[in-house]
Amino acid sequence: MTIGIHVSGAGKIYESLNRAHALGCQTMQIFARNPQQWKGKPLDSKDIEEFKVRRNKLKINPVFIHISYLINLASPDARLYKGSIQSYIEDIQEASRLEADYIVTHMGSHKDTSEEAGIARLINALNKILDETKGLKVGILLENTSGSGSWLGYKFEHQKKIISGIKDKLRLGLCLDTAHAYLAGYDLSTREGLSSMLNEIEGLVGIGLIKLIHLNDAHGDLASHHDRHDHIGKGSIGLEGMKRIINHPKLKKIPMILETPKDSPLSDEMNLKLVRKLAKAG
């Protein structure tokens, strides 16, 4: 399996690779800049070159970059919408400089409008972004959500509608977050629930579009729509549920990134150790 975690990008950007390698990761996810800021300081060219050298040496592949939480490509607010598109374009260009493989994004909130209107705005935004970054290799992964508030992406029919509206589909894929799926109503704690979700994805868009799995247990009740992650085996999906996900024939070759709680210095090590144990047992 290809397993990694979301690692801190504090300090020099290339130091994130060392953090991932120290935990035995083959892949990783980072924020390229502060996720709560619109404008980050451009990465230094020397730091970018060092990032690429270290990545090659440490064999961290693929590399995923998570988009800023402030970006909302489905917003009805004209200023926020325009700013989100521009920031997204800049982030893809920065990711390309790092030679990152994918950018991961939540699908946005339609706020006080309808889901249909939000999806239409998101399609329009993604078409502009893909056109403005034509020629770059960085892919865009749409992450499913728990469905809190007015966030899109809590059912895979949304992803189908969005993908159908994209002109250049070659750089578009999915990120499957297991905690979000459970909290949105897909019962991944059972064999039947997991099979049902995978059959739905296959029928709507195809399993092959899943390029990344955010491997998280869920803190909360089924279909509670609260976005809260838990340690592997400690949440509502449970140990057996997580084991089935990790070892499922359709999923086990897809890179998996843990976004589990970091409530102690040993949390990442603990969760990674358990995932590897479950994979070996499976």
Give the pLDDT confidence of 25-83 residue by residue, as tens digits.
999 999 967 777 777 778 999 999 999 999 999 999 999 999 998 999 999 999 999 99
* Beta-sheet strands, E only, within the chain: 3-6, 27-30, 63-66, 102-106, 139-143, 172-177, 210-214, 217-218, 229-230, 256-258
Q: What's the mean pLDDT in 222-243?
A: 98
Q: What angle in degrees, to the nearest 10, is found between the helix axes of 156-165 and 115-132?
A: 50
β-sheet bridge partners, residue 176:
213
- Is the pLDDT confidence value at 8 over 80? yes
pLDDT of residue 32: 67
Is residue 31 a part of any domain in this protein?
no
Structure pTM?
A: 0.97
Q: What is the DSSP track for 213-263?
A: EE--EE-S-TT-----EE-TTTSSSHHHHHHHHHH-TTTTTS-EEE-----
Question: Based on the number of CB atoms within 10 Å of its own CB, is 43 exposed (0-12), middle (13-18) or buried (19 or more)?
Answer: middle
Q: How far is CA 67 from the centre of its chain?
A: 9
Query: Does 98 reside within a domain?
Result: yes
The helix/strand count (H/E) of the chain reads as 9, 10
Any domain includes 130:
yes
Of all helices (H) and strands (E), which one includes residue 261?
Answer: none
Task: Check residue 131 and report its DSSP letter.
Answer: H
What's the pLDDT score for residue 37? 74
Q: What is the pLDDT of residue 39?
A: 72
Q: Assess if residue 17 is contained within a domain.
A: no
Q: Is 179 within a domain?
A: yes
Per residue in 157-215, pLDDT (tens digit) is 999 999 999 999 999 999 999 999 999 999 999 999 999 999 999 999 999 999 999 99
**Preceding omega of 62 cis (within 30 degrees of 0):** yes
Number of domains in the chain: 1
The pLDDT tens digits of the residues spanning 98-147 come to 999 999 999 999 998 999 999 999 999 999 999 999 999 999 999 999 99
Residue 10 maps to a domain: no
Domain that holds residue 211: 67-281
Specify if 124 maps to a domain: yes
CATH number of the domain bearing residue 87: 3.20.20.150
Helices in 67-185 by DSSP H: which ranges?
78-98, 115-132, 156-165, 178-184
**pLDDT reported for residue 59:** 98
Domain assignment of residue 26, yes or no:
no
Kindly list the distances between the CA atom of residue 4 and the CA atoms of 26, 155, 169, 274, in Å, as whole numbers in the listed order: 6, 26, 27, 13
Overall size of the chain counted in residues: 282
